[in-house]
């Protein structure tokens, strides 16, 4: 098979990193894989993995007639058999371009926390949690496959050398180090990052030698920096450090005593054999352990706390206190850290291997090719109309000053997906 993989961006993040690693793993199973993308930090990862790469030479509107024509010609030129878009903008561009005009089948992976309602129901869908699979199937999607976020357990392992990470960022060698790796986004992440700054600042102020390293960048950086400065002013020391974005964050994972995270970052934390506290929204923090694993395996490495939880200073104080309850026993007990680290590493090896995910993805491609898409004019028209309405709503939100960058990681959409599913809620 000849497959074109199209991630939604090349900023450092879980969805696009999974797209690249799985593309390389499918190639290693004997297929021709071409990766299409714009520019960004992860282009270097594409080069390191020696993937065939088509770089979009100029930014353009992803659903403009000009771009759809460009995509269609490109797919014809390279004689692609299967198209794979990660998240809705690439998937819809591939659907409205080469699938519509050449009948080249499209697969879509959604690693956001909700499936866009305008995605065609005949398009094969890959999702990352059992909850999302159930929701998408109930919504009418004909083919939904679960592929949990895979981890390269060789590249991410307890043997990885942390090198000079602590020294480079002014982190004391004799302090306990808590690390969070991820994009500093307003959706999903911000509340947890702010409450983590508060919790670590309070613990340091109470005499526990602990520091927090926040690895990443993004639109919420200024707010996180302000909160880190408040924690550092409280302790009179370098308690919270923002390292900025790292094209290779593995030294940060390897240097940590405890990791905080969600989604793909949570699984990489486990791969390093480190204890993990899963971050969510509305005050959600929960230790990954044998007692909680079944919840996360069903619902993904994320959670929603109290649906009535206010996202204000009182809410942040409650979230920080909850994180401290989860974190304190780990920081006080090195044996507990070792035991939970070994548990997490074993879990990742058994369930989240890159090889297993590539095998499942290859099967999806074969099944998709065996059922070449017909012409579904009404469905395509409805999907295109849904995209237009979605964009109009976004423009209106922007005019009102309340637009969101990650539109299907919006908390209201996530609530609609998980309402009634208690596995997401804070214990």
Q: Residues 13-43: pLDDT tens digits?
A: 888 999 999 999 999 999 999 999 999 989 9
Taking alpha carbons only, the member of 303, 360, 400, 315 closest to residue 147 is: 360
pLDDT at 309 over 90: no
DSSP 184-224: --TTTTHHHHHHHHHHHHHHHHTT--EEEEEE--STTHHHH
Question: Rounded mean pLDDT of 270-295?
Answer: 95
In this prediction, residue 6 carries a pLDDT of: 97
In this prediction, residue 374 carries a pLDDT of: 67
In this prediction, residue 417 carries a pLDDT of: 54
In this prediction, residue 426 carries a pLDDT of: 41
pLDDT at 193 over 80: yes
All domains of the chain in start order, with CATH: 2-150+353-400 (3.40.50.2000), 165-351 (3.40.50.2000)
Question: Rounded mean pLDDT of 203-222?
Answer: 96
Taking alpha carbons only, the member of 154, 218, 210 closest to residue 181 is: 218
pLDDT at 405 over 70: no
Structure-model confidence comparison of residues 61 and 287, the more confident one: 287
Percent of the chain at pLDDT above 70?
91
- Tokens matching residue 221: 């950086």
Q: Residues 278-290: pLDDT tens digits?
A: 999 888 999 999 9
Taking alpha carbons only, the member of 40, 69, 55 closest to residue 6 is: 55
pLDDT at 299 over 60: yes
CB 53 within 8 A of CB 35: yes
DSSP 230-242: HHHHHHTS--EEE
In this prediction, residue 406 carries a pLDDT of: 52
CB 169 within 8 A of CB 244: no
Structure-model confidence comparison of residues 72 and 416, the more confident one: 72
Q: Residues 252-269: pLDDT tens digits?
A: 999 999 999 998 899 999
Q: Cα–Cα–Cα angle for 362, 273, 196, nearest 5°?
A: 105
pLDDT at 411 over 60: no
Taking alpha carbons only, the member of 386, 380, 403 closest to residue 117 is: 386
How does residue 427 score in pLDDT terms, banded at 50, 70 and 90? Answer: very low
Question: Rounded mean pLDDT of 201-206?
Answer: 96
Q: Residues 103-150: pLDDT tens digits?
A: 999 999 998 878 999 999 999 999 988 889 999 999 999 999 999 989
pLDDT at 62 over 80: no
In this prediction, residue 419 carries a pLDDT of: 45
pLDDT at 349 over 80: yes
CB 228 within 8 A of CB 215: no
In this prediction, residue 78 carries a pLDDT of: 96
In this prediction, residue 376 carries a pLDDT of: 74
- Bridge partners (DSSP) of residue 52 are 34
In this prediction, residue 59 carries a pLDDT of: 61
Average pLDDT value for the chain: 89
Question: Rounded mean pLDDT of 353-379?
Answer: 88
Sign of the alpha-carbon torsion through 134, 139, 143, 145: negative
Q: Cα–Cα–Cα angle for 92, 95, 98, nearest 5°?
A: 130
How does residue 315 score in pLDDT terms, banded at 50, 70 and 90? Answer: confident
**Helix/strand/coil for 361:** helix
In this prediction, residue 129 carries a pLDDT of: 87
Question: Rounded mean pLDDT of 228-239?
Answer: 96
In this prediction, residue 410 carries a pLDDT of: 52
């Amino acid at each position: 098979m000849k497959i074109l993989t199209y991630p939604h961006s090349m900023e450092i993040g879980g969805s696009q990193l999974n797209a690249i690693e799985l593309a390389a793993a499918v190639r290693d199973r004997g297929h021709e894989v071409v990766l299409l993308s714009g520019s960004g930090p992860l282009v270097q990862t594409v080069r390191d993995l020696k993937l065939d790469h088509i770089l979009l030479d100029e930014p353009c509107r992803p659903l403009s007639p000009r771009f759809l024509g460009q995509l269609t010609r490109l797919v014809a030129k390279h004689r692609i058999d299967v198209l794979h878009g990660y998240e809705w903008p690439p998937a819809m561009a591939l659907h409205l371009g080469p699938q519509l005009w050449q009948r080249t089948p499209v697969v879509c992976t959604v690693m956001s926390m909700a499936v866009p309602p305008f995605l065609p129901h005949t398009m094969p869908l890959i999702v990352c949690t059992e909850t999302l699979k159930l929701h998408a199937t109930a919504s009418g999607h004909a083919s939904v496959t679960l592929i949990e976020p895979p981890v390269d357990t060789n590249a991410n392992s307890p043997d990885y050398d942390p090198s000079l990470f602590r020294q480079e960022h002014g982190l004391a060698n004799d302090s306990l180090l808590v690390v969070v790796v991820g994009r500093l986004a307003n959706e999903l992440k911000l509340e947890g990052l702010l409450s983590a700054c508060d919790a670590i600042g309070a613990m340091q102020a109470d005499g526990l030698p602990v520091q927090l390293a926040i690895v990443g960048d993004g639109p919420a950086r200024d707010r996180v920096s302000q909160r880190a400065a408040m924690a550092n002013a409280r302790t009179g020391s370098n308690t919270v450090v923002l390292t900025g974005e790292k094209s290779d964050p593995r030294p940060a994972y390897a240097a940590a005593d405890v990791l905080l995270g969600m989604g793909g970052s949570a699984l990489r934390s486990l791969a390093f054999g480190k204890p993990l506290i899963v971050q969510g929204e509305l005050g959600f923090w929960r230790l990954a352990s044998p007692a909680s694993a079944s919840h996360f395996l069903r619902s993904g490495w994320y959670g929603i706390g109290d649906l009535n939880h206010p996202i204000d200073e009182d809410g942040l104080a409650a979230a920080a206190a909850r994180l401290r309850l989860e974190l304190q026993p780990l920081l006080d007990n090195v044996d507990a850290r070792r035991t939970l680290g070994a548990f997490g590493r074993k879990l990742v090896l058994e369930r989240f291997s890159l090889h297993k995910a590539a095998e499942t993805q290859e099967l999806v491609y074969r099944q998709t090719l065996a059922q070449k898409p017909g012409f579904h004019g009404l469905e395509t028209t409805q999907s295109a109309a849904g995209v237009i309405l979605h964009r109009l709503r976004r423009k209106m939100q922007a005019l009102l000053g309340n637009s969101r960058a990650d539109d299907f990681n919006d908390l209201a959409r996530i609530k609609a997906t998980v309402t009634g599913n208690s596995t997401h809620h804070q214990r």
